[in-house]
């Protein structure tokens, strides 16, 4: 089987802060990382590769510096890397991004399974995976905890509200992965990184994948960001510290004053 893993480079949103005075985002010093959900999806793909000897190809869309996440993925064991990079993609929303990624996957050719993180931590939309599946006309299984392959059957355990489902599909199929300890991601060694530099890596433009300009960027994106602003500030918590006895007493007092207990 041939597996494609979609990966995105994102700012580490846990490190992004707001300047309380100006209300602007403080980005300085915020590292760019592989989207954590994609990191888990990659690990799932690599485990399938180890078990079944599948080929794993990475696809990312982003500015030239996004090469680093593709490189890291190859150092971890992916066989080939593709970066979609073109000014024509600037301002693409999830629809246009799905369109471009689907075009790239079509160009790759025979693909049996596509894995992606359930969402990226910068936008948190969870829309690009299903968008790619739709553009390719293939089925999707979203929010998967586990994936197995048995001959030509793809079996996935999917999270549902308050439980799980086990689902089956035939390839080609797209799966989006949540973060579970079964696929705890790894980081490559320095040696693995230098060895991966020999692996095939390509940068493709919009023209290379046959993506039409009017479906890309701001022009092709159905949604537009009209304004960004800091979230409303919450009031500071009323703080208290003390021993176990005192802490317990304080919680009881709070629950009484808020009428949760008599």
Partner 1 sequence: MIEVSNKCIGCTKCVPVCPFAAINMISKKAVMNEACTLCGACVQVCPVQAITITREEASAKDFSGYKGVWVYVELTETGDKTHPKKIKPVTFELLGAARKLADELREEVCAVLLTDKDHNYAKDLGAYGADKVYMVEHDELFEYNTDIFSTVIVGLVNRHKPSSMLYGATIQGRDLAPRVASTLYVGLTADCTALAIKDGLLLQSRPAFGGNIMADILAPNSRPQMSTVRPNVMKMNEPVVGRTAVVVREGAKLDKSLRRVKVLERKIAHDAAGVKIETAGVIVSGGRGMKTKEKFKQLEELSKLLGGVVGASRAAVDLGFKDKTHQVGQSGTTVSPKLYLSFGISGAVQHIVGMKASDVIVAVNKDPNAPIFNVAKYGIVGDAHEIVPKLIEALKKR
Task: List binders of partner 1 among 143-202 (CB under 8 A).
Answer: 143, 145, 155, 158-170, 173, 178-181, 184
Which of the stretches 43-51, 75-83, 185-193, 227-235 binds partner 1 when contact is defined by CB under 8 A? Answer: 227-235
User: In whole angstroms, how close is the CB of 211 to partner 1 at the nearest point?
Assistant: 13
Q: In Å, how far are 13, 53, 132, 169 from 183, measured between CA atoms?
A: 21, 18, 23, 21
258 binds partner 1 (CB under 8 A): yes
The whole-angstrom separation of Cα 130 and Cα 98 is 8
b/e string for 217-226 if b means 16 or more Cβ within 10 A?
beebbeeeee
State phi, psi for 224 to the nearest 5 degrees.
Answer: -130, 140
At 89, is the secondary structure helix, strand, or coil? helix
Comparison of 25 and 192: residue with beta carbon closer to partner 1: 25
Q: Exactly one of 110, 150, 190, 237 binds partner 1 (CB under 8 A); which one?
A: 237
Comparison of 63 and 188: residue with beta carbon closer to partner 1: 63
The footprint of partner 1 on this chain (CB under 8 A) covers a number of residues equal to 105
Handedness of CA 61, 66, 68, 72 (dihedral sign): negative
State phi, psi for 228 to the nearest 5 degrees.
Answer: -125, 150
x/- binding map, residues 87-126, to partner 1, per CB under 8 A? x-xxx-xxx--x-------------------xx-xxxxxx
51 binds partner 1 (CB under 8 A): no
User: In whole angstroms, how close is the CB of 200 to partner 1 at the nearest point?
Assistant: 23
Comparison of 67 and 159: residue with beta carbon closer to partner 1: 159
The whole-angstrom separation of Cα 137 and Cα 150 is 23
Element (H, E) at 155: strand 153-160
User: In whole angstroms, how close is the CB of 143 to partner 1 at the nearest point?
Assistant: 6
Instruction: Show contacts with partner 1 in window 12-31 (CB under 8 A).
Output: 13-14, 16-18, 22, 24-28
- 139 neighbors 174 (Cβ within 8 angstroms): yes
User: In whole angstroms, how close is the CB of 83 to partner 1 at the nearest point?
Assistant: 11
242 binds partner 1 (CB under 8 A): yes
213 binds partner 1 (CB under 8 A): no
Nearest in space to 3 (alpha carbons), one of 69, 61, 53, 67: 53
The whole-angstrom separation of Cα 5 and Cα 7 is 6
User: In whole angstroms, how close is the CB of 180 to partner 1 at the nearest point?
Assistant: 7
Side-chain-facing half-sphere of 98: CA atoms under 13 Å: 20
User: In whole angstroms, how close is the CB of 88 to partner 1 at the nearest point?
Assistant: 8
Q: Exactly one of 47, 135, 193, 199 binds partner 1 (CB under 8 A); which one?
A: 135
Comparison of 24 and 52: residue with beta carbon closer to partner 1: 24
């Amino acid at each position: 089987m041939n597996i494609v893993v979609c990966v995105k480079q994102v700012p580490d949103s846990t490190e992004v802060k707001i300047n309380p005075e100006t209300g602007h985002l403080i980005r300085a010093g915020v590292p760019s990382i592989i989207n954590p959900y994609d990191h888990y999806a990659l690990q799932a793909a690599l485990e399938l590769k180890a078990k079944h000897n599948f080929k794993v190809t990475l696809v990312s869309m982003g500015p030239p510096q996004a090469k680093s996440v593709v490189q890291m993925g190859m150092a971890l064991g992916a066989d080939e890397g593709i970066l979609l990079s073109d000014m024509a993609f600037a301002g693409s929303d999830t629809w246009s991004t799905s369109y471009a990624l689907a075009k790239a996957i079509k160009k790759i050719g025979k693909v049996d399974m596509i894995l992606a993180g359930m969402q990226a931590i910068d936008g948190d939309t969870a829309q690009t995976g299903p968008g790619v599946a739709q553009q390719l006309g293939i089925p999707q299984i979203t929010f998967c905890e586990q994936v197995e392959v048995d001959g030509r059957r793809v079996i996935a355990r999917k999270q549902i509200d308050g439980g799980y489902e086990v689902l089956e599909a035939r390839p080609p199929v797209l799966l989006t992965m949540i973060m579970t300890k079964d696929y705890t991601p790894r980081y490559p060694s320095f040696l693995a990184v230098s060895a991966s530099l020999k692996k095939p890596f390509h940068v493709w433009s919009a023209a290379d994948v046959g993506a039409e300009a009017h479906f890309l960027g701001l022009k092709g994106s159905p949604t537009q960001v009209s304004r960004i602003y800091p979230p409303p500030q919450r009031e500071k918590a009323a703080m208290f510290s003390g021993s176990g006895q005192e802490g317990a007493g304080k919680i009881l007092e709070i629950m009484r004053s808020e009428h949760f207990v008599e």
